[in-house]
Structure 1
C-alpha cells in the first residue's frame, strides 16, 4: 500500500482509502516516473528461489502484487530485505522451507502468482502447494496449461477442496511441450521449471513478450542455458545448479501506456520517465493514428494531446508483438472522444469489456458484441470466446458513481472521471494499486483534483 503523503492544492493527500472523489476537467500535466514492470518484477522475485546464493533486483515497484510475492517468499524461508536504494531488494533463498497451508492461502487469495512457485519449489523441496487463485475478474484464466506442463516434467498433481498439491518423487526431467496458445504465464512456468530439470526442454508456441525476454536474461545470469529461436520456439538445457543474479527490471510498459492515454483523454501533457520506444512501438503507432502526440527522449517519452479532433481506429488485441490487451482499456476512454466509429476486437480475454458499462453511464456510446464481429475484416485470427466493442464518438462524459472492476479497467474509470464534467465517486480503487506505484501521489503531482475517502 502507498503510505506517502503528496502535496495537493488545499492540503495533502493522506493515507489512501478505497474511494476517491474526482472533480473532472483538469488536464493532467507534469512528469511521472515508471519503474520496473509488475509482470517482470514479481516473476524475477520467484526466480530467486532457484539460486543457491542471494539475488539483487532493482527498480522493483512499490505495489501490492510485489507485497504478495514478498510475503509468499518469506513464508517459504526466503529472507527479503530492502536496501538503502529505493526499489532495490535483496533476496536470500539459503533457508527455503515448506510453508504451512494457512500461510500460503492467506497470502495467495489476491494473486495468481503462486502457480509460478511450483517449479522452483519442486526443485528445492520436492513439493509445492497452491490454493484457489485470485486475480482480476477479466475472464477465465485456467491453470490447465501450467498443470499440463508440470505433469510433462514429471510432477504428480493431486487436487483437493483446499487446492492443489504437487510432488516430484523422481525429480523433474526435460519435456517437449506445445502450448495451445502463447500464454505468458505458462511460458514463465516452463522456463522456471525447465532450467533445473534433467535434460533438454523444447517449448513450442511460446510467448515472447519483452517481460519474458527479461526473465530469460535473468535466468541466463543465474547460469541457465536458454536458446530462443524463431517461430516461438525456446530450448532450455537443464543445469545442476543456479546462482543468484543482479538485475534491473524492465520498465512497466503497461503503466507507461496508461499514462499516455491519460494525457490524451484529459487534453494533457505527461512526460513518462523510464519509458522506452522499443517496447512500445505497436502502442505508439496506434496512439499516433488516434491523433496523440509524443516525443521520444533518451530518458523517457512525452505524451500529449496536440489539439484538434481525435480519429477513430480499429484495434485487434493480440500477444506480443501485437497490441496488448492491457493497452486497450485506457485507450477506449480516448476513443469515446474520437470523431467517428472505432472498433476494438478483444482476442486475449473473454470478459474484458465489463468496464465499458460505467463509461456508458458517464455518457459514452459503446456497444459490446459478446460473440465478436465475425464478418469484420481481420488480421488477427478469431478466437471462439472473443468480444468486440464498437465506440461511437465524440460523446461528452459526465460524472458518476463508479466501482472499479479490475486493474486496467479501474485506471480507465479514473481517467474518464478526470476528463468528465462534474464530480465522480470511484470506489474499490485499491485494485488499481495492484499495478500502479504511488498512484494517488502521481495523480496529485499531475494536477488532478480529487479527495480520498476512507
Structure 2
C-alpha cells in the first residue's frame, strides 16, 4: 500500500491549478443515466472515486469515454439504454455516492435494486431521507437483505418534500429523481452548496426545469425526457481550501487558479483572522504568510454557506501552530476528529470532548509516521507534514487518491519536498 513521504520546512511558492469538484462530478456522472443521449463533462477530475463510479455506470449500460485536450480533461457518458438496474453490494459499498444511481434508475426504468451503502468512518450518515423522498415521489420501497427494491411502474409523481434537517446527499438524490417526475416537486429545507447549483445547472442544460437551486427552496417541473448536453464541472472548493491552508501552514506565497473565492469565503475570512494575507481575484486567490506566527481562531462547522466540515481537519492542522487556543466544533458528522490523535503524533496539543476539540498551539511539529483515517483527515496530515521538522510518512493514502488529483505534483511544483512511496520502496 502506497505511502506519502514529506520532508518539512520548505515554504511554498508558485501556482496551484484547482481541479473540478469531486463532490459534484460523481453526481453529474449519475445524471447521465437520465438520458439516452451523451452527456459531456469538462473540467473533470481524474480520481479513484470518479473511476470507480465509471465502472459502476458501465455495468448499468453507460459508455464512458475519457479524453484530454487543450481545454483539459473531459468525460463523455452515454447511456442509450439501461441494460441493468442492479447495483450490487460489492459495487456500492466502496463509495457511498454510488447509492445515488437509485433515483435515476427508478426515474428512467421504473424499477431498481441497489445495495444499501456500507458504514462510514466519519459517521453513520443514514439514507432514510433519500428513501422517504423517493417514496414521496411515488416509488414503492422495500428493504430486504441489505438491498433497496424500488418500483414505480407508472413513473414518479411530483410532490412536496420537506427535509427535517439539511442534507446535501438527499437534496441531490431527490433532484436526480424528480426531474423526470410528472408535475411539480418542491424541495424545502434543501441544501444550498455550490455542488447543488452545479447539478441543477447541468440538469437544466439537459432540458430539466429546476429553479431555486442554491436556496433552501427548490422547485422542479418534471419533463418527459432529457437530452444530451455539455457541462463544465464547478471548481473544487474543498481542494482550493486545502491548498490555501497548506500555504498558510508552510508559509510563502501561493496563487490558486481556476477557483471561485466566494465558494470558500468563510474559510478565507478565518485565515485572514489567523494572520494569513489573502488576495481575492477573478478566478484566482493568493495566500501569503511571511513566517509570522499564526493567531488562534475558533470555528464551528455548518451547512453552506457556513464553514465546510470537509475543511475542518485541515483547519485543525493549521491551528496546531497558532499562538493561543482555538476551539473547533463539529456539528455535521460524528466521529470526525479521528485525525486529532494522528496530529498529536506530530506534536500537536489537542483535546477532544464530544463534538468539540481544543487546539493549543505549539512551537513546532516533529515529523513522524501517521495513519490516514478518511479522505479529509489524510490531507490534514500532509499539510501538517509540510510544516513539521524532519520527515513525515502518511500511511493508507488510498484515501487521498479518492479526492485529490495529482496532489504530490501540485505541491512539488511549489517547492514542497513530497513524494509517493510505492510498495517496493516502503520501509
The TM-score, its normalising length taken from structure 2, stands at 0.94
Contact 1:294 1:303 in 2 (8 A): yes
Shift of 1:282: 1.5
Q: Could you say if the C-alpha distance between residues 230 and 211 of structure 1 is closer, same or farther in structure 2, counting changes exceeding 3 Å?
A: closer
Contact 1:251 1:275 in 2 (8 A): yes
Shift of 1:165: 2.1
Structure 1 residue 293 corresponds to structure 2 residue 277:
yes
Structure 1 residue 278 corresponds to structure 2 residue 262:
yes
Contact 2:191 2:214 in 1 (8 A): no
Corresponding residue SS for 2:286: strand
Question: CA–CA distance in 1 between the matches of 2:75 and 2:316?
Answer: 36
Alignment of 1:1-400 (within 5 A): 18-85=2-69, 86-98=72-84, 104-134=88-118, 137-228=121-212, 232-370=216-354, 387-400=355-368
Question: CA–CA distance in 2 between the matches of 1:268 and 1:108?
Answer: 42
Query: What's 1:415 paired with?
Result: 383
Structure 1 residue 434 corresponds to structure 2 residue 402:
yes
The runs of 4+ residues in structure 1 deviating greater than 3 Å are none
Q: Which moved more, 1:222-231 or 1:110-119?
A: 222-231
Corresponding residue SS for 1:169: coil
Unmatched segments (≥5 aa) in structure 1 = 1-16, 371-386
Question: CA–CA distance in 1 between the matches of 2:265 and 2:210?
Answer: 26
Question: CA–CA distance in 1 between the matches of 2:155 and 2:399?
Answer: 38
| 1:301-322 superposed Cα distances (whole Å, 9 cap, x missing partner) | 1212133221111101101111
Q: Could you say if the C-alpha distance between residues 113 and 352 of structure 1 is closer, same or farther in structure 2, counting changes exceeding 3 Å?
A: same
Question: CA–CA distance in 2 between the matches of 1:37 and 1:156?
Answer: 33
Query: What's 1:402 paired with?
Result: 370
Query: What's 2:422 paired with?
Result: 453
Unmatched segments (≥5 aa) in structure 2 = none
Contact 1:56 1:89 in 2 (8 A): yes
Q: Work out the number of aligned pairs and report it.
A: 420
| 1:383-404 superposed Cα distances (whole Å, 9 cap, x missing partner) | xxxx011111134211111110
Question: CA–CA distance in 1 between the matches of 2:277 and 2:103?
Answer: 44
Contact 2:19 2:43 in 1 (8 A): yes
Shift of 1:299: 3.9
Contact 1:54 1:244 in 2 (8 A): yes
Q: Which moved more, 1:326-335 or 1:24-33?
A: 24-33
Contact 2:49 2:95 in 1 (8 A): yes
Contact 2:89 2:117 in 1 (8 A): no
| 1:87-122 superposed Cα distances (whole Å, 9 cap, x missing partner) | 111111112211555xx4333222111221111101
In angstroms, what is the RMSD of aligned CA positions? Answer: 1.7
Corresponding residue SS for 1:88: strand
